[in-house]
Amino acid sequence: MTLFTIPRNEQIALNRGVPLVCVAVCIVSAVLGCAGTDSSGDDRWASPMGRGPVGATHSSDPATAAKELAVARRMVRAGEFSLVIPRLQQIVSKYPGDSAAIEARYYLGRSYYAVGAYNDALRYLNEYIELAPAGEHVDAGREYIAQLTDRPLDVTPTELETKAAALQSVIEEEPENIAARLELANLYWDGSKYDNAGAVYEELLRRWPRLESDPVVQRRIERDESGEITVLTPREVERRHREAEPLVIYNVSAFRSGRFEGWPATAHERYYNVTGQAVNQSQQPLHDVRVVVTIYGFGHMVYDTKTVNLGTLRPGEVRAFSTQFSQFDNIYNITRHECVGTFRR
């Protein structure tokens, strides 16, 4: 469901003995990637940093992954399954080697199970058990898998049409049979017939308005102020997530450079380089896109912060960024880096 599946490299690459040419490449990349210029004047979009709303944060600190998972975990417990799925998918792709990404697979399995996407649920639950055979949620994961494997995960079009026709007959004979209508809506939803399911839910809400507070109906149907109904299909939920968080920072890595041949063995590299990519995953252009890169030492001490200007990103556009640091007491004391993307609409 995620638009971009390129994994993020969260481990800092420390390449000793990199030739000076790498420094030049980084500088050229930064220049080519920095098409924007500073804007001035008051702006209603301005954040405390004066760079517009934050779009995405990428950090090499495992604590960041744990914090994001904690937020997603609360959403699962609150029953916000459709909304949490894109967040969990980002954790999996953003921190591929982290324990938070492994645990996120379990919650993805639970969430997909709750919305009726059983094949996806089974895939993520199996991945979780394979990656964490002694994990905290293994027993619960196996229970979900047992329930999934005891029922057919795929309904053929013929079977779906047969069952739907039988339920339609019941509804025609008993127009007030709410159970038959709910079963028909679930049948269509499980079969990915979202338009059909939406039509049934709309009729259900017309006849029984109180159903609008039902948790399952709330996850699948939304009514706006004018009374228009929107079917919250997986594609629609993903689209909304991309529009709400349009700027994504990924493929971030770091390396040391600036050590020349003939230097004594005790000499340190001069520069700490951070590179990555930014993508606009929404359907609207983003203006004044910037990536604020910060390097940290022990105890969360900030060594230096630099801003890379990327200018305007068109919908779907990907742009690389690179920056170089030399302000630190000892290059080996740098413990992590962080990239925060900001923009204006």
What six digits make up the tokens of 158? 């013929």
Rg (CA), the chain: 25
Can you identify the CATH homologous superfamily of domain 63-151? Tetratricopeptide repeat domain (1.25.40.10)
The domain made up of 21-61+242-344 has a fold known as Immunoglobulin-like (2.60.40)
Distance, in Å, from the CA atom of 75 to the CA atom of 108, rounded to the nearest integer, reads 12
Domain ranges of the chain: 21-61+242-344, 63-151, 157-237
**Residue range 233-249: average pLDDT?**
82
Question: Which CATH architecture is the domain 157-237 placed in?
Answer: Alpha Horseshoe (1.25)
- 45-102 pLDDT, tens per residue? 333 333 456 666 666 666 778 888 999 999 898 888 877 888 898 888 778 778 999 9
Instruction: Say how far residue 189 (Cα) sits from the centre of its chain.
Output: 24
Q: Say what the pLDDT of residue 223 is.
A: 85
Burial of 262 by CB count in 10 Å (0-12 exposed, 13-18 middle, 19+ buried)?
Answer: exposed
Q: Say what the pLDDT of residue 50 is.
A: 35
**Residue range 25-33: average pLDDT?**
41
Predicted confidence band at 11 (pLDDT cuts at 50, 70, 90)?
very low
Distance, in Å, from the CA atom of 292 to the CA atom of 74, rounded to the nearest integer, reads 29
Predicted model pTM: 0.56
Domain pair 63-151 / 157-237, same fold:
yes
What six digits make up the tokens of 124? 């993520």
Instruction: Say how far residue 291 (Cα) sits from the centre of its chain.
Output: 18
**Residue range 290-298: average pLDDT?**
93
Q: What does the mean pLDDT of the chain come to? A: 79
Q: Return phi, psi of residue 269, to 5°.
A: -65, 150
Number of residues that this document lists for the chain: 345
Beta-carbon neighbour count of residue 263 at 10 Å?
A: 12
- 132-187 pLDDT, tens per residue? 999 999 999 988 888 877 655 456 778 888 999 999 999 999 999 999 999 999 88
Give, rounded to a whole angstrom, the gap between the first and last alpha carbons of the chain.
Answer: 25
179 Cβ contact partners less than 8 Å away, ≥ 6 residues apart: none
Q: Say what the pLDDT of residue 160 is.
A: 86
Whose CA is closest to 295, among 257, 260, 255?
A: 255
Strands 286-296, 271-280: pairing kind: unpaired
